[in-house]
Structure 1
Amino acid sequence: MTGDDGMQLAYYILLLVVIGGAMLFELSGRGGQALRQLMLWVVIFAGAILAADWYLQGDMLPRQQVLEGGRIEIPVGRDGHFRLTARLNGTDVRFIVDTGASTIALGPDDARRIGIDPAGLAYVGRAMTANGPVQTAPVTIEELAIGDILDRNVRAQVIGGDLDGSLLGMSYLRTFARVSFEGDLLVLER
């Protein structure tokens, strides 16, 4: 258990004690009815904790594993997407791996985070997305690292529209000798 897990557990226990204590104080003297209502609230509280934990882990997990020999294993998320975290210019950026995207497509927020000012770019290209056409600006990412794999001067596009997050497309996926699926894993190998 990590320090964050311990703090989260302590928070839940404290919250349960406060709510449980308030319920016992409020319902004291009513015997069986109080016990039934207390049990109902315990079940509701436990369900809410489990639902929140499931929802939060769906966003945070699963994570890719970078193995020896340039192999990256990316588990499918609960939503069916493969998400990969790469370090761009020293900053972690979370990508959706998109074999339907022709290039690396950076959302404006991710571009800013890695030191590219979207407002100062020349949006001279166009791309077709699921939401229709968008303007694009060519950029070069100085360093893109996934574990021990490091690439320099990687070409990408900054999307001129409202793109939440970023897409890792075929221009980068083609740098791998093998891109395959093994059950619920997307495997990239150099």
Structure 2
Amino acid sequence: MERRLIVPVAIRFLLLIFLSISFLYLSGCSGCSRSGSHQPRRTRSNPADKAATAVNPSEPKPTLTQLGNGPTEVRMKKENGVYKVPVTVNGTSMQFILDTGASLISISSTEAEFMMKQGTITDDDIVGQSRFQDANGDISPGSIIRLKSVQIGDRILENVHASVVSGAKAPLLLGQSALSQFGKISLDYRRNIVTFD
């Protein structure tokens, strides 16, 4: 009789140990959220990637010109859950997703090829190669290019870097390489307006 009681107690003890180890592993997982879903971990940057994206000291620095006075208001358009703003890049009008989480302006290889055919981007504008990681953790190869002008409303940013990501479906992202140059930015979701002060 005593032997039959020992077996269930031993099984419960082993199950408790297993559950404790599983809980400790999951609570220490940096890619797990409270909801229990697992997101891929970010990969560590490769020193070779940093060297490829390093800015050449002789490269001209971005400069901002404002054609009008005071704050600049630009209308946003909500599309599929994201906000897009009209941006003119090297004279070509496009709709960019306003993305404060992106480090660079990002365009697809399709857009870059179109601009090369139009002559608004040349081989001289390619400043390096790199790999880019998206929000899902996927890594794509790409190029770093210099854009001669990026105009939003009455503000023109010249000599700014952008990434060209391989893939026709890569979205157009207006990232920090441009947004940080504009200073204070405020969003009015009721009026669908972004204001650059």
Task: Identify the TM-score tier after normalising by the shorter chain.
Answer: 0.5 to 0.7
> Residue in 1 aligned with 2:143?
137
Unpaired runs of at least 5, structure 1: 1-66
Q: Give the share of equivalent positions with the same residue, in percent.
A: 28
**4+ residue stretches of structure 1 with deviation over 4 A?**
120-123
> Residue in 2 aligned with 1:187?
194
If the length of structure 1 is used for normalisation, what is the TM-score?
Answer: 0.55
CA pair 139-78 structure 1, distance change in 2 beyond 3 A: closer
C-alpha root-mean-square deviation of aligned residues, in Å? Answer: 2.9
Q: 1:125 aligns with which of 127, 130, 140?
A: 130
- Measured in 2, the distance between the counterparts of 1:72 and 1:90 equals 20
Deviation at 1:101, TM superposition (A): 1.0
> Residue in 1 aligned with 2:73?
72
Higher relative contact order (CA 8 A, sep 6+): 2
| Bigger helix share | 1
- Measured in 1, the distance between the counterparts of 2:126 and 2:182 equals 29
Deviation at 1:186, TM superposition (A): 4.8
1:165-180 to 2 correspondences below 5 Å: 165-180=171-186
- Measured in 1, the distance between the counterparts of 2:76 and 2:69 equals 17
The number of equivalent residue pairs is 124
Deviations along 1:11-45, one digit per CA (max 9) or x if unpaired, are xxxxxxxxxxxxxxxxxxxxxxxxxxxxxxxxxxx
- Measured in 1, the distance between the counterparts of 2:187 and 2:127 equals 37
- Measured in 2, the distance between the counterparts of 1:71 and 1:178 equals 11
Deviation at 1:124, TM superposition (A): 2.6
Deviations along 1:69-128, one digit per CA (max 9) or x if unpaired, are 24123335153311112111111121111112111011112212322479x968731111
If the length of structure 2 is used for normalisation, what is the TM-score?
Answer: 0.53
Query: Are residue 148 (structure 1) and residue 154 (structure 2) matched?
Result: yes
Deviation at 1:155, TM superposition (A): 0.9
Q: Highest CA radius of gyration, 1 or 2? A: 2
CA pair 183-87 structure 1, distance change in 2 beyond 3 A: closer
Counterpart residue type for residue 80 of structure 2: D
Secondary structure class of the residue paired with 1:102:
coil
> Residue in 1 aligned with 2:90?
89
